[in-house]
Structure 1
Amino acid sequence: MPAIISAALIIDLVTEEYQHHTLETLLSTPMTMAEVVWGKIAACLVLVPVQAGTWLLLLAINRIAIANMVEILLLVVTSSLVLILIGALTALYYRERTAAQFIFSTAVVVLMLLVLAFPRNPLNLIALLATDSAGMEQWGILAGALFMCGILGFITHAYSAKVSTRAPGE
């Protein structure tokens, strides 16, 4: 849930800059478009461990045993960053909130179905970690998520630099 909330938020943060014509003001400062986008990504990413950590804390307060809280938070943050980066790319490409949210929502449904097709996926791994049933494959899944973050981060950075030179409507 934190992943989807933060990913939807990044779309709103980016598209609102275009729709309210405030991006020009931001870019009149010494900041680059990539820095603006990464600042928005960081703001969305900060919410993820706060929200997930609060949920874990509330479960613990209610005497529900949760094992591997640090590993769960690490996996949730990494997986969330993948969705946040996909959301940022979608927003940068479409520039209009309704279209970007629709495309992103559709892509998330397809992505979730693909991910859930595999027995050892990040969503299942969170449950396995919480019950202390995960094996060493957790590190492989985390490495895969980090790899995806690296690739998507590179693409986001390059595309945000490119899009800053593109006129609206191109």
Structure 2
Amino acid sequence: MNFSRHRHSSYVGLPALVLLIAATGCSSADDTTSTAVPSPDTKVTELCQNLDKRLPREVDGLDRKDPEPRSTLTAGWGSPAIILRCGVERPPKMIDPKVAEGGDADAVAGGVNGVDWLMEERGGGAYRFTSASRLAYVEVTVDKGPDTSTVLVDLAGAIKSAIPEGIAD
């Protein structure tokens, strides 16, 4: 009699285990964005950590949802609409004289609310912006959905207060 009761509880546990596995497979972790974490020097890392503390909780109406792996050098809003990486290398197009003169169609320089940017078209309606004239390069990748002007306006205050003007090494 004890044996049949034990068998019964095993069968009851099996559907619960299957349900748990199915729920885990469909969890919200599946839509987590992954991004490469920059590896700048100590001075730039400190500037980027300061920026992380000042970043807004919402950009273009999207809540902050940081990419994996978690780092004070990266941030995200939406899924995966907007990704910020601080401490990136200077983009080659930033020092190309054709870009400075407006000769490169897929890279344009400009400023938004006191922060200068190099804008590069990524295809499919996505853009990459890299800050210029700051002591650390901040890269913002915007998927085709968000309004890029709103994104840069929302981030400008934090960047101006955390990353001083100057030329990054």
TM-score (norm 2): 0.23
Between structures 1 and 2, the one with greater helix share: 1
Structure with the larger RCO, 1 or 2 (CA within 8 Å, 6+ apart): 1
Query: By percentage of residues, which structure has more strand?
Result: 2
Larger radius of gyration: 2
